Amino acid sequence: MRLYDTTSRGIREFVPLKSGEVGMYLCGATVQGSPHIGHIRSSMVFDILRRYFEYKDYKVIFVRNVTDIDDKIIHNAGHENIEWWQLAARYEKEFTWAHQVLGNLDPTIEPRATGHITQIIELIQKLIDKGFAYVSEGSVWFSVRSFKEYGLLSGQKLDEMLTAADPDKGKKDPHDFALWKASKNDEPHWNTPWGPGRPGWHIECSAMAETYLGKQFDIHGGGLDLQFPHHENEVAQSKAAGNNFANYWLHNYWVTQSGEKMSKSLGNSLKVSEILQNFRAIDLRFYLLSAHYRSNLEFSHQALTDSAAAFSRIEQFVIRAAEKIQIDKLPQDLPAEFITAMEEDLATPAGFAVIHDYVTRGNNALTNNSDDLIQNYAFVRNMLNLLGLDPLSSQWKVNTGTEVSEALDSLIHSMLLQRNQAREAKNFALADSVRDALNSAGILIEDGTSGSRWTINKEKK
């Protein structure tokens, strides 16, 4: 497998540190607000990478952290006049829901920053002892100039980096960053040798990555916006402490609107909960995976509508072929061209092209009653399953309404029976009225040689 590594600025052959195992760390949610589709795109990219490694029989340890204490959480909680932990817990639940409803597998472990204060303090003390950090007025700062490789990940030169116009009190150099922040009045805090305070943003990831993946691990991932300063600072503090840290760095690009990154601070974020009021979760997942992870995805409702229509053609083939074949156990292999796409830097657009090709072949096999149907159907199901998009999986039956309740299903089929009886009796007025009633409720009727079947009218929805 070949992956684009940010540090080397190029494609590298993936070689795990330990044969048959992969350690992955993903910067997860800072639970200051509701999840938007930009957040979930990042998690979805690394969900696919994790799924592919597991398909290749790797044992994967996938760590996705939760930042549940930072300045914005405290600020937003103050505006709502609630405790900081109440706000963090509320939005953590929303992120968990969004991951699950959009089909992301649960990580191996999802550690919280507040649950690792001991490890954070120990790591900071090590940096102080090694001369890479200093204490000033109850805060601890990382001395950036003491780490000679600073800027290697982001490709920047230290003296050309912008700094805050009003640097924090106590810094020796405007480039230095906080490892530990002295607490202000009534702020949450933990007691340390340097005084009461709370962790800085960057140190938590270094501490949690080491806790669960060791001093060196395979892959660190996250959104492109985290490359600097967050990931650059992670590299500096971890390597300064004596850890080799991540062997590969992968960054996904943004979901944008009008060319801008989607974010709460810009006021252009699209919450997952809002989009799912008008679109199915499986359609949103298909859309978010439609562009290569290293390409920006320009969001629009029309683009998502078009993507949903494209997925509907795939879904309808799967449903029709399943009704025709009616077998439980399928061959588990994937077509070679799909494997090639996945192994060339997780090229999901090329993978989708392979799926569409086999759907076309499968539809031809359905029409011609060809013996190729089972193989084409199995390939499509297996590719969709690896991408978390199999419409017949329990995930989508439960979460998106791909199949309605048994009671409603029974009612619709009773109406179809009534319509077919009316047609046989040449009572076309009654047959048409039943069809129109179903259509007004968003149910499309398809008549075929094997009888009538119904589907959801996505355009009406």
DSSP letter string, 117-142: HHHHHHHHHHHHHTTSEEEETTEEEE
pLDDT higher than threshold 50 for residue 148: yes
Residue 318: pLDDT band with limits 50, 70, 90: very high
Contact criterion met (CB below 8 Å) for 221 and 76:
no
pLDDT of residue 401: 40
Dist CA 299 CA 288 (whole Å): 9
* CA pair distance 60, 128, nearest whole angstrom: 33
Structure tokens at 143: 């001395």
Q: How far, in Å, CA of 19 to CA of 17, rounded?
A: 7
DSSP state string for 298-346: E--HHHHHHHHHHHHHHHHHHHHHHHHH--S-------HHHHHHHHBT-
In DSSP terms, 435 is beta-bridged to none
pLDDT (0 to 100) of residue 186: 84
Nearby residues of 97 by Cβ (< 8 Å), 6 or more positions away: none
Residue 221: predicted pLDDT? 98
Q: Is the dihedral of CA 343, 346, 351, 353 positive or negative?
A: negative
State the DSSP code for 70.
S
Sign of the alpha-carbon dihedral angle for 380, 386, 392, 397: negative
Token output for 119: 């490890």
Q: What are phi and psi of 161, to 5 degrees?
A: -75, 140
* Closest by Cα among 367, 289, 209 to 37: 289
Mean pLDDT, residues 30-55: 96
- Contact, 21 vs 61, CB < 8 A? yes
Say what the pTM is.
0.84
Q: Say what the pLDDT of residue 456 is.
A: 65
HSE-up of residue 98 (Cα within 13 Å, Cβ side) = 29
Nearest of 366, 403, 359 to residue 381 by alpha carbon: 359
Helix (H, G, I), strand (E, B) or coil at 431: helix
Query: What backbone phi and psi angles, to 5 degrees, belong to 431?
Result: -60, -45
Q: Is 238 left (phi over 0), alpha (psi -120 to 50) or beta?
A: alpha
CA distances from 246 to 23, 101, 132, 143 (A): 9, 30, 20, 21
Mean pLDDT of 143-166: 86
Map out the domains of the chain with their CATH numbers.
2-261 (3.40.50.620), 300-399 (1.20.120.640), 406-456 (no CATH)
- Which strands form 297-298's sheet, in the order they lie side by side? 260-261, 255-257, 297-298
* Residue 41 CB partners (closer than 8 Å, separation 6+): 252, 255, 288, 297
Q: How far is CA 22 from CA 42, 50, 52, 231, in A?
A: 19, 9, 11, 20
What share of the chain has pLDDT > 70, as a percent? 89
Q: Note whether 13 and 4 are within 8 A (CB).
A: no
**Range of weakest confidence among 64-78, 124-138, 353-367, 385-399:** 385-399
Q: At 416, phi and psi to the nearest 5?
A: -65, -40
Cβ neighbours around 34 below 10 Å, total: 17
Q: Provide the pLDDT confidence category of residue 369 given band limits of 50, 70 and 90.
A: confident
Question: What pLDDT digit, counting tens, does each position of 203-238 carry?
Answer: 999 999 999 999 999 999 999 999 999 999 999 999
